[in-house]
């Protein structure tokens, strides 16, 4: 009788067979590690973006009583300004601030010279505004205004004239070149008034940072840090901090996403003696602010003499009983 022999177990091993008890291969472990690292980087990136683009004032903090909502920042230069000129500038700002419960932050270029690293003195505006944010940590808005400027219509509060979100949205210049006349980078067409942290005007050639409003918060501090980057200060832009601002607004979407451009006369009307005003950018009676850009560097102009007729007009206005 013949019995069938049981099949013999083959001694041949398949080259890619894996013991069921064996862990993941080295290649598989590397893939898992790579995916984990990429996932962590992606999550970190989206967290940073959500933090930057969230409302700058979203953190719930206790605001001390009497905190001014708006701080007016004026950077003087006593090495080149007479005391009479400074007194007029201060009087103009102090009258306006007193009307609405705002605060003034007067400072001097000399305080920031150690940080400029031989860059033009006009760069002092950036650390000066950062200094103001630190000095008034609970205030919401910071209105930088060149010392070569006057507030001509004190009846206009910043809230009603610019900061109210509906008012701002109605004035915002959307889908236009950021830097005139033909920058390929344009302001966002979908931006809402409530999304804005930085308000500025433009003249015929550039943005006009002699008058701007910045909102307190993480984004505002980030913006000032980018603007004051040592690389930009050492680059020798023809118009120093103005051209640096032109650059970062065009090439950094994170900054453009919080910027509102408004018509020049809303925030930064130029005197008739100041070149470079945009179309309809020259001061007219009733405008909020008049500026005299370039008066301090043009040997044919004198800032105080140019300002005096407007200061006298402003003084008559504030002296009127019905004002």
- Reported confidence tier of residue 2, pLDDT bands at 50, 70, 90: very low
The verdict on pTM exceeding 0.85 is no
Query: How do residues 71-128 score in pLDDT, each as one tens digit?
Result: 999 999 999 999 999 999 999 999 999 999 999 999 999 999 999 999 999 999 999 9
Domains of the chain with bracketed CATH: 70-319 (3.90.550.10)
pLDDT at 30 over 80: no
Rounded to the nearest integer, the mean pLDDT of the chain is 88
Query: How do residues 205-254 score in pLDDT, each as one tens digit?
Result: 999 999 999 999 999 999 999 999 999 999 989 999 999 999 999 999 99
Q: What is the pLDDT of residue 322?
A: 74
pLDDT at 16 over 60: no
- Reported confidence tier of residue 323, pLDDT bands at 50, 70, 90: confident
- Reported confidence tier of residue 9, pLDDT bands at 50, 70, 90: very low
Three-state DSSP string of the chain: CCCCCCCCCCCCCCCCCCCCCCCCCHHHHHHHHHHHHHHHHHHHHHHHHHHHHCCCCCCCCCCCCCCCCEEEEEEECCCCCCHHHHHHHHHHHHHHHHHHCCEEEEEEHHHCHHHHCCCCHHHHHHHHHHHHHHHCCCCCEEEEECCCEEECCCCCCHHHHHHCHHHHHHHCCCCCECCCCCCCCECCCCCCHHHCCEEEEECCCCEEEEEEEEECCHHHHHHHHHHCCHHHHCCCCCCHHHHHHHHHHHHCHHHHCCEEEECHHHHCEECCCCCCCCCCCECCCCCCEEECCCCCCCCCCCHHHHHHHHHHHHHHHHHCCCC
């Amino acid at each position: 009788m013949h019995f069938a022999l049981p099949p013999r177990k083959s001694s041949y091993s398949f080259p890619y067979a894996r013991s069921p008890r064996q862990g993941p291969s080295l290649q598989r472990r590397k893939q898992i590690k790579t995916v984990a690292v990429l996932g962590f980087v992606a999550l970190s990136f989206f967290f940073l973006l959500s933090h930057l683009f969230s409302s700058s004032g979203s953190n719930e903090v206790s605001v001390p009583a009497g905190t001014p909502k708006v701080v007016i920042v004026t950077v003087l230069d006593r090495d080149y300004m007479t005391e009479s000129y400074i007194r007029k500038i201060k009087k103009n700002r102090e009258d306006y601030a007193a009307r609405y419960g705002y605060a003034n932050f007067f400072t001097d270029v000399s305080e920031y010279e150690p940080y400029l690293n031989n860059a033009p003195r006009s760069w002092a505006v950036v650390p000066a505004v950062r200094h103001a944010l630190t000095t008034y940590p609970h205030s919401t808005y910071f209105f930088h205004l060149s010392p070569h400027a006057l507030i001509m219509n004190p009846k206009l509060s910043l809230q009603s004239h610019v900061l109210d979100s509906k008012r701002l949205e109605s004035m915002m210049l959307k889908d236009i070149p950021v830097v005139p006349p033909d920058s390929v980078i344009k302001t966002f067409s979908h931006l809402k008034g409530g999304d804005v942290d930085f308000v500025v005007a433009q003249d015929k050639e550039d943005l006009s940072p002699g008058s701007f409003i910045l909102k307190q918060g993480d984004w505002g501090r980030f913006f000032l840090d980018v603007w004051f980057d040592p690389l930009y200060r050492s680059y020798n832009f023809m118009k120093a901090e103005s051209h640096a601002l032109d650059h970062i607004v065009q090439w950094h979407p994170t900054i453009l996403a919080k910027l509102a451009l408004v018509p020049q006369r809303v925030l930064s009307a130029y005197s008739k003696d100041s070149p470079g005003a945009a179309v309809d950018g020259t001061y007219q009676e009733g405008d909020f602010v008049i500026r005299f850009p370039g008066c301090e560097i043009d040997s044919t102009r004198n800032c105080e003499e140019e300002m005096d007729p407007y200061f006298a007009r402003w003084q008559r206005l504030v002296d009127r009983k019905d004002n």
